[in-house]
Amino acid sequence: MGYAIIKTDYYEGKETELERYFMSLTDSPLNEDIWVFEKMRQSAGHNTNSYTVYFGEANQSIFKYFAINCFKIGNLVSTVKAKIGGCGHFVKFIGEKYPDITLQQVNRQLIADYKEYLIEYTRSKGTRELYFGALISFFHDMRGWPAVPSQPPLGRNNPFSRKNNDRKHDEKYVPEFVLNQYDIKFRDIRIPLHRRLIYWVARSIPSRISEVTGMSLECLKPYQNKWCLIMPTWKQNGGYLEPQLRRIYLKYSGHGKFLIDMIREQQEIARSLQSSLPDHQKGMLFTYPAKIKQHTKTGEVVFVPYSDKIYIANRSSVMRWLHDYSAEWNAVDENGAPYILTSHQFRHNGITDRVWAGFNIVEIRDMTGHQGDAMIEASYTHVLPQEAIKIQNKVIESREGQNFGSKEAVMFRGRILNMDEQTESRILKNIRACKIGNLGICSDITGCKSSPFECLNCESFVPNADELDYFENQVYDWSQKVDKFSNHEFMRQNAEYNLELNKNIVAKIKRIMKEEK
């Protein structure tokens, strides 16, 4: 999603314009140093801290106008919060090293000193990137305001920008030795159900913990002979309050049955508590009563109700009890060192394990809710690329020479070939049928993933034989991309996947047209 360009240079009435915009975002007073953006809360399962901006050291009015302007150009609360935190770090640096310098007097030499300070005292590459990036945004966005230099004292290039290798954190991948310890513990029915369920959903489906805790009470729906688990995602939806929805299909057997039974049990608990909640908190799956941990006379740990208060799980509460359990259970790695498990590590494991299992990037992207390959490749994969490619090659090879059954169909000049007239008529009249541009029709849009790349590999897709030239051109284009990305494993992998899809469509059209003749 793109945003309109907002004029940021100072002009008469700019403060009034920003103050008016600020009032539309929150009920917090402008002059306070803590702003709560309750109107931007996307889900009752998201904690208040996620929608709160703390000014701390950066409590001058210029930083508050900067924050409002960030909102106006489309930044989310989390982004504004990070930028203000970075600015606060710089203000603290000035106060300690240059107490007589004002913001207006900041020059390139002072910025160079701050850069050296970050190198010496800040170990995390990500933190350096964030802090310096906040200054770039601040001095450029507030250019011309009376409180800052008339010309930004730094360029737009961030010297701490991380490369792909910098963004890969192998420590985020939880070793199997560690996970086995947690898997055993989280099968203990004495642990509150909502905690066990959050653990196993996050463990089973690569998700952000806010997506898990943001699941609605009606997240589980029967679908044919399976169950459809509906999970929200806000990270890739352009900042809207309404989430995109991911659909995960589960069979009622084995581990799927284990998950479904727990979800249904949690649904019953949550439903029983709805009447006691205010309207804005209703409808969340992970609603649970207040309980406190107690030790019985035999030393057994149990959770018992201690008040009428009702809670909704969120990212902060999950992080807290995961940390507590890690300490309580004395979880250790293979070397015997204490191991503290974090919620986001499940996502790293889920994606990496699926790469090992032979899933390609497109399939993983559909599962995780990512809109592109970059983040998966840059941050989430923790395997040797050559090993992943070996596995993926086997998957691709298994598709070659596959036998196309008689149920396949091609649309040619308004008629569906290789299909009896009754079935053809039913599909074209069915409310679930949908035309996909000029490429063909979908005979059933209920499982639609809204991407033409996924359509080509969908059983419901009926390609248009009139577009044979288009599909042949796609084969040529993707072949070129395979050669172009020969030294880039994951990009080549993605290109190979799409090449195979278009090859199969071309072969399908030619074969059925030949049969028709």
> Per the domain annotation, does 367 fall within a domain?
no
E-strand spans in 103-205? none
My answer on whether 122 and 186 are in the same domain is no
Provide DSSP, 48-65: GGGGEEE-TT--SHHHHH
Residues 6+ apart with CB under 8 A from 287: 217, 269, 270, 273, 274, 277, 281, 310, 311, 312
> In degrees rounded to 5, what are phi and psi of residue 434?
-150, 135
My answer on whether 151 and 220 are in the same domain is no
Q: What are the residues facing 35 on neighbouring strands?
A: 53
> Per the domain annotation, does 271 fall within a domain?
yes
My answer on whether 315 and 433 are in the same domain is no
> Per the domain annotation, does 104 fall within a domain?
yes
My answer on whether 37 and 143 are in the same domain is yes
> Per the domain annotation, does 507 fall within a domain?
yes
* Cα angle 95, 99, 103; round to 5: 75
Alpha-carbon distance of 32 to 14, in angstroms, equals 20
> In degrees rounded to 5, what are phi and psi of residue 249?
-95, 130
pLDDT, tens digit, 9 for 90 and up, residues 451-469: 555 566 666 678 888 888 8
Q: Are strands 244-250 and 461-463 parallel, antiparallel or unpaired?
A: unpaired
- For residue 437, is pLDDT > 70? no
CB distance 214 to 268 below 8 Å: no
pLDDT band at 400 (very low <50, low <70, confident <90, very high): very low
Q: Are strands 287-295 and 244-250 parallel, antiparallel or unpaired?
A: unpaired
- The per-residue pLDDT for 389 is 47
Cα Rg of the chain (Å, integer): 27
Extract the tokens encoding 435: 């035309």
Return the top range by mean pLDDT from 10-14, 52-56, 211-215, 342-346.
Answer: 52-56
Number of domains in the chain: 3
Residues 6+ apart with CB under 8 A from 460: 442, 443, 444, 445, 447
> If 0-12 CB within 10 Å is exposed, 13-18 middle and 19+ buried, where does residue 164 land?
exposed
Return the top range by mean pLDDT from 121-125, 196-200, 237-241, 395-399.
Answer: 196-200
My answer on whether 287 and 140 are in the same domain is no
> Which range of residues forms the domain containing residue 492?
397-516
> Per the domain annotation, does 56 fall within a domain?
yes
> Per the domain annotation, does 5 fall within a domain?
no
* Residue appearing with tokens 């986001």: 344
Alpha-carbon distance of 195 to 186, in angstroms, equals 8
pLDDT band at 422 (very low <50, low <70, confident <90, very high): low
- 285: domain CATH number is 1.10.443
> Per the domain annotation, does 108 fall within a domain?
yes
My answer on whether 339 and 426 are in the same domain is no
> Per the domain annotation, does 376 fall within a domain?
no
Using alpha carbons, select from 110, 128, 132, 129 the residue that is nearest to residue 120.
128
468 sits in which H/E element: helix 468-484
My answer on whether 78 and 95 are in the same domain is yes
My answer on whether 185 and 319 are in the same domain is yes
Which of 354, 383, 410 is a domain's end point? 354
- The per-residue pLDDT for 378 is 44
CB distance 495 to 485 below 8 Å: yes
Which of 124, 143, 162 is a domain's end point? 162
Alpha-carbon distance of 105 to 377, in angstroms, equals 42
- For residue 444, is pLDDT > 60? no
My answer on whether 209 and 348 are in the same domain is yes
Q: Count CB neighbours of 490 within 10 A.
A: 21
